[in-house]
Amino acid sequence: MPSPRGWLATAFLALTAFVGCDGCQAPRPPPAPAAPRTVTSPIAGELGESLALTIEADRLLLAGKLDKENRYASAVVVGARLGEQSKRCSGVLVDRRAVLTAAHCLCAPQSASLMDASNCAQRAAVSTILYTPVPGLEDEASSSSALYLGVVHPHPAFRVLLNDHGEVVSSVADLAMIHLESPVEEAISPVLMARTEAQPPETLIIAGQAYDEIYDRYDQNRRFSRNTATRPPVAGDSRILVRQPSGHLYKGDSGGPCLREDSGHSLLVGVSSRNLGRGAACTSIHGYQAWVRSELRHTAEGQVP
């Protein structure tokens, strides 16, 4: 039987091959703490003064806190290929054989202003992550992973309109279910759906991988941050608008869970659409729970093609 390190490398190499992610690497042992270095912000010239961000080398500290205690292990990595294009996002486990994510993560736009369910990936790869903390290192942990394949079912009503400035005009049913061929490991529990809609100024946890806009690359770790709901869904727009933590420069966790913390439990109120258009938001699942339950019944009855 292969060692845990050998299995971890094999799983991530398989996911990399599936989604065609040239920049992905197999996980390495945690590096030794590095000395801080300074990165100059590209907007320094516009301000006419030196504006710098001090960060630690190869450490993505602004994306949120590393989930080394596995509180949000239901947040997974999602990858797919659509033609020659690689898609990479986050997702959330809602059943041991079903992952909910954002449809815009797995569907190609029809134009610069329109996205819908007419051209989506048929299959996707899902990778789970479980951490073991490293004593003495706050933002480091060793990890193990497992890879699963599944069939993609976007919500049939998925439709997003953008204006000429890349801003979301309307977003409806930005959801897709991935039905897995085999159940995930028992160490990871699916998240339960909340019964009520998120309301301002409620605090929501958003978890998933992150895209670093400074370095132009993905963080391969699962992180979480606390966000404040500022607007509930309205007619023609099923998004919950949120205010991100100060200095948050990451948005690759689209498809990852937006969670309400209730008496020590995490309840799903939506999935992140943080890297769609401009601004930060979660697609509410409150109005789509009947569709989610219908998809889960298909999974349980083995009716997924």
pLDDT digits (tens, 9 = 90+) for 236-295: 999 999 987 765 555 667 999 999 998 889 999 999 998 787 778 999 999 999 999 999
Cis peptide before 201 (omega within 30 of 0): yes
Per residue in 79-113, pLDDT (tens digit) is 999 888 888 899 999 999 999 999 999 999 999 89
CA pair distance 226, 206, nearest whole angstrom: 7
Query: Is 305 or 257 the better-scoring residue by pLDDT?
Result: 257
**DSSP at 227:** E
Strand (E) or helix (H) holding 190 = none
pTM for the model? 0.79
Q: Count the residues in the chain.
A: 305
| β-bridge mates for residue 205, sequence order | 226, 259
For position 214, what pLDDT does the model report?
Answer: 62
Percent of the chain at pLDDT above 90? Answer: 55
Per-residue b or e along 9-44, where b marks 16 or more CB atoms closer than 10 Å to that residue's CB: bebbeebbebbebeebeebeeeeeeeeeeeeeeeee
What's 240's DSSP letter? E
Token code pair at residue 97: 């054989």
Q: How far apart are CA 253 and CA 265, in angstroms?
A: 21
CA distances from 35 to 56, 57, 86, 139, 219 (A): 6, 7, 34, 14, 19
